[in-house]
Amino acid sequence: MIEEKLQKQLRNAMILVFCIVAVFLIFGGLFSVYMQNTKNEAIKNQIIAEAEEYKTRILKQLDADFQTLYSLSFFIEDSYTTDKKLFAEQLNKANQNNAFLTIVYYDRNGKGIISTTGQEPEIDASLSSLSPEGRRVVEMALEGEVSVSQLFESLISDNSVFVYSVPVYSGDEIVGALAASDHIEIFSDILSGNTVLGGGGYIHMIDSQGNFLIRSSKTVVETDIPSIFDGPYLSDSSREDVMNALQQQKRIFSSFSYEGKSYPFLLEPVGFNDWYLFCVNTGEGLIAHFSTSALVTQITFIAVLLLVILLMLYGYRLLRNYNRGLVRLAYYDSLTGAQNMSRFRQRLVEALRNIEGSVAAVSIRQFHFLNEIFGREKTNQLLCQIKTVAEQHLRKEEFFCRDTEDRFYLFLRETDYQTLRSRLKAFMTDIEQNSEISRTNYQLSLYCGVTVSPCCSNPEETADNLMTHVMFALARAKDSHSNSIWFFDTELHKKEELENYIESHMHQALRDGEFKLFLQPKKNLQSGMLGGAEALVRWNTNNGRMIFPDQFIPLFEHNGFCIKLDLYMMEQACRQIRSWIDQGISPIPISVNQSKLLFFEEDYVEILTEMVKKYNIPPQLITLEILEGLALENVDELNGKIVQLQQEGFRISLDDFGSGFSSLNTLGKLKIDELKLDRDFLFNASNNGNERVRLIMEEIVRMAKRLGISTVAEGVETAEDERLIQMIGCDAGQGYLYSRPVIAADFDDKYMKKSGSRKI
Ligand code: C2E
Ligand code: CA
Ligand code: CA
């Protein structure tokens, strides 16, 4: 039971622990996803922020270039018309001071000057000498618009260039167009820094077709590809998304894979031509720190979780072992390893729910001496051997335990006495003959008490009863040296129970007046009148039970309490006579039974004398009934006491004559006044029609008469009996024919208070 309970608690605890771990895992997972998202979001934000910044720088550069062109346009108009050569030189100078590749000026006639860094200025150059892209922006400027060309291959500088142009005014009139070309690399200075994404990324510039305009030297994809769509780096879906975004000049955030690693990137429109910044995060730098710390957090979390799980498992093992230890302590005997009494009782209750069986208790005779003779170690060994033998002898659904010291209890699935006896005999013989100790000269001997379980409805109660009964049987077996196996006997047990009650309650009963005076009448056979009464004790217990003297007198004679009880009854008899006298009723003699022990009380005679004096009654009204057995020990001493009592006025009657070792010899020696013939005489004489017994009775009565002893026949149950004792010559009769013993008050009502004769 405890084991199951503990297991259940442990299981629940473990479920709880696993739930907690599961919750941890879920939270850990969510946290990890959250961290990942945060990381991605952070990367995204950082890339966007940086792209914005680079975009601004590019636009600023463009803006600065335009400003330069504007400034130039202001002082150009006059000098061109006055001196073209000088103008060309000035233009050349201005070009050298700026970062442009080429600066051109065209008038409205399509004639102009081309100044290219490192070359002589070309005067009167025609518009057609320019590439179409250059020509177009110049034409647009001549029409008053500021514009920038797409990137194109310059015919002049063999470079991939783009051109800006601004109109040149004279007053409100457009007189020409100033244009400057620059190659795209002017931005690479801006883009090629090592600080892109805190060192963890790089930026290319591409156009809306995905073609590279500027390729960063830090690129992870080292293959020389003209477009981002070349090569297998973009997945199909992201390729499509990127294409769409580029067409619509929108910002897009995506990723590509290269050599097994994923690289997030941002495509940010520059806002100038169809140029895009292609910002790639390589996972290093600040973001890498962030990722590393996130990874460290995750690893720490998992490590802590693993540690927690390990600790839990360790705790579980500890707890389980502790529980097992508890169960062992609670249910097992530490010496032999057998189960203990608590477990046995539990199993007994469980077994009794379904099956019938018996409980046997087995012990070793003189166990304490064994300890003394062989020492503790050897006797402990013997107990362990008994455990082993018990295991060998028990069958399915049978079990046993060791209680304390040498006591073992067995539950056997047998109810048949014969089978039980032979199985237990075999078990005990096995131990007696095969133990270590039995190999010495010592004759090991076991004894055993058995009780068979009744069919039961209440297993708990039955188990308790069986355990109590088996103890009684064991105690009996211990006392009996001839019979080593003793079965519990219900009748015997009841008797023992009653005896126990009697002995433990007698003093209190005497104090509380539970012993009652009953009177049985004696009939004077000559007159047919009430001749006297015998005082007989009844024990009315306070729980309403009546106990008869046969059940307690022998015990009281044994434990000496009879002295007290007889004197008490004597006092009750005296009081009764006193009460009759006081009521003016002519008293009758009362016979009081006296136990053997009283006669050996030193001041016995004095006590009785005192008592009759106390109640002021004539001692002649008291007849003391003594048992013949007294005479067997010392007739002279007994006679001495009898004479003393007779001198004090008491009458002496010899009770139960003929029941034991009665002999006419004793009768002759004892100086008694009355002889009570035991009811066995009458029973045998009348019921069996036994002539010989009748003759013996007759002889005894005649002899008593000759000795001056009156005779009373006991056990007069029928009219036939009465006729017989009358014929024989008995003086009085006592028996159920006249009345059973009745409580003194009823006796009074029936015989004493009646006016008129006391005829029975
Ligand atoms: P006892 O002195 O021989 O008393 C007579 C017993 O025979 C009484 O039993 C009485 O009830 C019973 N008896 C009377 N008439 C008949 C009959 O017609 N047929 C049968 N079969 N029995 C009859 P009780 O009262 O149970 O007493 C049993 C014995 O207990 C007495 O035997 C006596 O030895 C002893 N006893 C009773 N009271 C006392 C007492 O106060 N002190 C002592 N020491 N012994 C007592
Ligand atoms: Ca008697
Ligand atoms: Ca008697």
The reported pLDDT for the residue numbered 678 is 94
Residues of the chain by 3-state class (helix, strand, coil), percent to 5: 55, 20, 25
The reported pLDDT for the residue numbered 193 is 65
To the question of domain 341-488 being in CATH 3.30.360.10, the answer is no
Which ligand minimizes its atom distance to the CA of 547?
1
The reported pLDDT for the residue numbered 47 is 85
Name the token pair of 684: 């045998």
Q: What are phi and psi of 707, to 5 degrees?
A: -85, 5
The Cα 287–Cα 290 span in angstroms is 5
Per-position b or e across 189-214, b if 16+ CB within 10 A of its CB: ebbbeeebbbbbbbbbbbbbebebbb
Ligand 1 centroid – CA 98 distance (Å): 154
Residues near 488 by beta carbon (within 8 Å), at least 6 away in sequence: 449, 450, 451, 452, 469, 470, 472, 473
Task: Tell how strand 201-206 and strand 446-452 pair up.
Answer: unpaired
The reported pLDDT for the residue numbered 504 is 96
Contact between 667 and 677 (Cβ < 8 Å) = no
Same fold, 74-186 and 500-752: no
Q: Which of 741, 748, 739, 742 is nearest to 576 (CA)?
A: 748
Q: Which of 281, 319, 292, 235 is nearest to 11 (CA)?
A: 319
- Domain ranges for the chain: 74-186, 187-291, 300-331, 341-488, 500-752
For the chain, what is the total number of helices (H) and then of strands (E)? 21, 27
Ligand 2 centroid – CA 692 distance (Å): 25
CATH number of 500-752: 3.20.20.450
3-state secondary structure 625-665: EEECHHHHHCHHHHHHHHHHHHHCCCEEEEEEECCCCCCHH
What's the CA angle centered on 435, arms 429 and 436, to 5 degrees? Answer: 155
Q: Which long-range contacts (CB under 8 A, 24 or more apart) does 67-74 make?
A: 68/98, 68/100, 68/180, 69/164, 69/165, 69/166, 69/178, 69/179, 69/180, 70/166, 72/103, 72/178, 73/166, 73/167, 73/168, 73/169, 73/178
Ligand 1 centroid – CA 688 distance (Å): 23
Ligand 3 centroid – CA 473 distance (Å): 35
Q: Which atom of ligand 1 is nearest to the CA of 737?
A: 18
To the question of domain 74-186 being in CATH 3.60.15.10, the answer is no
Ligand 2 centroid – CA 598 distance (Å): 15
Which of 517, 546, 553 to mutate to test ligand 1, by most ligand atoms within 8 A of the CB atom? Answer: 553
The Cβ of residue 593 has, within 10 Å, a number of other Cβ atoms equal to 22
Q: Which atom of ligand 1 is nearest to the CA of 518?
A: 25
Q: Which of 697, 645, 691 is nearest to 671 (CA)?
A: 645
Taking the model in full, what pTM does it have? 0.55
The reported pLDDT for the residue numbered 237 is 87
Atom 33, ligand 1: residue with shortest CA distance: 593
Q: How far is CA 640 from CA 128, 139, 159, 600, 740, in A?
A: 180, 175, 166, 12, 34
Q: Which residues pair with 266 in a beta bridge?
A: 253, 279
Ligand 1 centroid – CA 536 distance (Å): 6
Ligand 3 centroid – CA 334 distance (Å): 60
Name the token pair of 735: 């028996």
The reported pLDDT for the residue numbered 3 is 66
Ligand 3 centroid – CA 659 distance (Å): 9
- For the chain, the first-to-last Cα distance in angstroms comes to 72
Q: Using 50 as the pLDDT threshold, list the residues of the chain that sit under it.
A: none
Which of 515, 523, 536, 682 to mutate to test ligand 1, by most ligand atoms within 8 A of the CB atom? Answer: 536
Neighbours of ion ligand 2 (CB under 5 A): 593, 625, 655
Which ligand minimizes its atom distance to the CA of 569?
1
Atom 37, ligand 1: residue with shortest CA distance: 536
Name the token pair of 1: 């039971």
- DSSP states of 554-596: HHHHHHTHHHHHHHHHHHHHHHHHHHHHHTTPPP--EEEE--G
The Cα 87–Cα 90 span in angstroms is 5
Q: Which fold has domain 187-291?
A: Beta-Lactamase (3.30.450)
Atom 41, ligand 1: residue with shortest CA distance: 537
Atom 27, ligand 1: residue with shortest CA distance: 549
The Cα 208–Cα 150 span in angstroms is 11
Contact between 576 and 615 (Cβ < 8 Å) = no
Atom 14, ligand 1: residue with shortest CA distance: 735
Ligand 1 centroid – CA 520 distance (Å): 9
Atom 23, ligand 1: residue with shortest CA distance: 715
Which residue ranges have their beta carbon within 6 Å of ligand 1?
520, 536-537, 548-550, 553, 562, 566, 569, 593, 595, 625, 655-656, 679, 715-717, 734-736, 741
Contact between 351 and 411 (Cβ < 8 Å) = yes
